[in-house]
A and B are shown apart, each in its own frame.
Chain A
Amino acid sequence: MIGQLMNLKATELCLGLPGGAEANENLAKSAVGNKRGFSETVDFMVNLQSNKEGAVELNKVVSASTEKTLLKDPSKPPVKAQVVGWPPVRNYRKNIITQQKTSGKEEEASSEKAGNSGGGASGAALVKVSMDGAPYLRKVDLKMYKSYQDLSDALAKMFSSFTMGNYGAQGMIDFMNESKLMDLLNSSEYVPSYVDKDGDWMLVGDVPWEMFVESCKRLRIMKGSEAIGLAPRAMEKYCKNRS
């Protein structure tokens, strides 16, 4: 069982959070400098397994790990993690303050408008991330990342067998070079794709990062071989956007 916990791969079926152990360890290491013992990780995993928490938001996984971190070593600053609805300040108030911070005389921010959606908190861009073969979903807040590389690192922590292929400068795909694209899709086992504002499945990396954050509604990490089907469509759209 210990071996299983240590070597869980995202694609293996299990009750706990396969990517969780590594994610927690990574975070723990960075926050507490290796002080966190293995036994705590086991405790944590056992607790989670016994509660059958399946698709828990990454946020909560991270928060649970920071709980342990804090308990053992309160003097270290906690790992920054986004927890939904905490601290409990209403969006209405948060929006007003945020707006004041950015500029006093701006046009009213669109974030102030009917924020009925679950992601109504000003600044949060929560999207679901799923990975083919993994029995759970995660959520990420795209606004927490500054680049494709950041996102890639975070996804790698979440789904341990996933690595983003060679995305070139600034993490963008070179759609103009078809053979390069095909290499990419054939080489990496998994490729991230996303649903954009129009509802189309696109390959991640086709637009500049900021545009991506605005338009991405959902992420799916799929096998490269399946993503090949997306490539022509993505290329077409890319070219359309360019012209």
Chain B
Amino acid sequence: MAEEEDLSEMAKDVERHLKLDPPSSQADNKSVSPDHVLENVLENVLKFLTSKRDRNAVSLVCRSWHRVEAQTRFDVFIGNCYSLSPARLTRRFTRVKSLFLKGKPRFADFNLMPPDWGAQFAPWVAVTAKAYPWLEKVTLKRMFVTDDDLALLAASFPGFKELVLICCEGFGTSGVAVVANKCRQLKVLDLIESEVTDDEVDWISCFPEGETNLESLSFDCVVSPINFKALEGLVVRSPFLKKLRTNRFVSLEELHLLMVRAPQLTSLGTGSFSSSSSTHNNAAQSEQEPDYASAFRACRSLVCLSGFRELTSEYLPAISPVCANLTSLNFSYANVSPDVFRPIIRNCHNIRVFWALDSICDEGLQAVAETCKELRELRIFPFDPSEDSEGPVSGLGLQAISEGCKKLESILYFCQRMTNVAVTAMSENCPELTVFRLCIMGRHRPDHVTGKPMDDGFGAIVKNCKKLTRLAVSGLLTDQAFSLIGEYGKLIRTLSVAFAGDSDMGLRYILEGCPKLEKLEIRDSPFGDVGLRSGMHRYNDMRFVWMSSCRLSRGSCSEIARALPSVVVEVFGSDDDDDDDEEDNADYVETLYMYRSLDGPRKDAPKFVTIL
């Protein structure tokens, strides 16, 4: 329906522009030449094009299209902040309203990268402050953002509306306070899994007086207490607020107050979900205990629930009134047992996204499989993230999910033991899978029933899941597994490998296969120089390659750097001291991180990083 409307709009625009002067976008040229008209038409057509892939394709047609596309691109996504300089961004795209920047590669989340490696937001905010004063939205993932950067942002963009910081660090509550205070048009302030230092600033009180435009406020990752009265006041004067994710310093009683004030919420992060009155007299308390269930019932639009940071399970049934409406449920910080979990999930027929800890066990997963027929995304995290933990979920749970949730598209599953049979079952039952990430926590663990490698299971995944774009492997895997991945993983864009493979052939299979591979991250696998060299023809077309604790030598990394001038080749160790004691291993490469870049090696690399 929307498409038809768009087309008729377009037709009207075309008509209009054929009669009138060109709009001010072509300010330097007032003539109505045929070329100009075509460009205007194109501009109006391209405004409807939002997919980045489509836009990239359009920009390659010819110079004219390149120019028009650049002028109509309002949303820019940069998957690697070092792939180009801020200056290049502003030269090409002149009308950017929204910027999404990604910094460090994912393995940095697991302490595999020394701190202070880079990915600073500072140069970007400095340049965009001048080039895009109309900037409205900034999303950053794995970037280093300082309080000064946030202050500059708040000062430079008067119409600023949305700030989303995912897995970022380097700033504190004082930076957040500045944004809250100065960005008067702010609609979205989402701090997601970021490290926010406690500067002991009451940032909630820094939001200006009067009605706000806030639609989304997420601060569940902020590990410092907040001024609850101020939060309550903020919620009361934010009539457009739809998403509120509180941190664990908000108790159940306080949550109740918030819910009563904001029954229009669609997404709620429940904070601690435990009563703050545990130190009080229990008898006195039970008389005054708020009716949590009715507060939930009053939130008729609630579709997304998360939080439960310190769950006291006796209160969990309070969420029952909303279960049937929920499309997204995140229990991944709540250590719920199957007995507590099952009665709750039984009502959640519409769940599409479900995150939980493995404490729900295979039985819990069975319950999910029986009820959640609309499930699209499942993530099961380990309550005890160590290699020798008990592992309450296994292939049984995985297989049950595959049999019950046929529409599954994305899965992340941590377990201690797995079988090829279960993985194969999932490959056969869930043809819509685009993301399959299985983490068998014990390194090199074979199929625990047959003792064989996990090759067959992962092989089945790549063979049967024809839409697979992201794959993470684990367990005992031979080169055969990689041969299958290379051969059948036709659409795979991201591949994650750890403690797997036998030899360079494994890496060769991947690099000589997997035609769409863009992001390759490998750790602790026996892949060396021969394997690395075999991908020479690929690296210009990939976003990045990460290889740590493999068998690479400096020589071959230098070779790549020389042969491919548009690829930046960084090598570094896992810590940031430059010790004199480590001279002997000068040839061994602990970590290789290489990525394509339009503007050559970065100037801000710290001492411990060597750019070849």
Contact = CB atoms under 8 A, between A and B. Distances in A.
Given A74-B451, A118-B115, A90 B109 contact: yes
Contact of B588 (A52, A57, A100, A139): A52
Interface in B97-120: 107, 109-112, 114-116
Contacts of B576: 118
Given A78-B388, A84-B111, A88-B498, A96 B582 contact: no
A92 B221 contact: yes
B443 A66 contact: yes
B528 A91 contact: no
B278 A105 contact: yes
Contacts of B110: 84-86, 88-90
B574 A93 contact: no
B385 A53 contact: no
Contacts of B384: 97
A104 B224 contact: no
Interface string B430-444: 000000000101111
A118 B333 contact: no
Contact of A53 (B111, B114, B221, B585): B585
A104 B274 contact: yes
Interface residues of B, number: 65
Contacts of B381: 89, 93
Given A55-B582, A85-B107, A87-B441, A118 B195 contact: no
A128 B443 CA distance: 24
B551 A86 contact: no
Interface stretch (A108-116, A157-165, A174-182): A108-116
Interface stretch (A129-137, A183-191, A207-215, A226-234): A129-137
Contacts of A105: 278, 310
A93 B385 CA distance: 10
Interface in B346-385: 357, 381-385
B604 interface: no
B549 A52 contact: no
A136 B474 CA distance: 30
B386 A87 contact: yes
A86 B498 contact: yes
A137 B578 CA distance: 12
Nearest to A85: B110
Given A66-B443, A87-B414, A52 B193 contact: no
A67 interface: yes
Contact of B223 (A55, A74, A90, A113): A113
Interface string A112-130: 1111111111000000101
A66 B588 CA distance: 22
B582 A92 contact: no
Given A51-B588, A70-B445, A112-B223, A118 B111 contact: yes
Interface of B: 107, 109-112, 114-116, 167, 169-170, 172, 193, 195, 197-198, 221, 223-224, 274, 278, 309-310, 332-333, 335, 357, 381-388, 414, 439, 441-446, 451, 476, 498-499, 523-524, 528, 549, 551, 553, 574-577, 579, 581-585, 587-588
Interface of A: 15, 51-57, 60, 63, 66-67, 70-71, 74, 77-78, 80, 83-94, 96-97, 100, 104-105, 108, 112-121, 128, 130, 135-137, 139
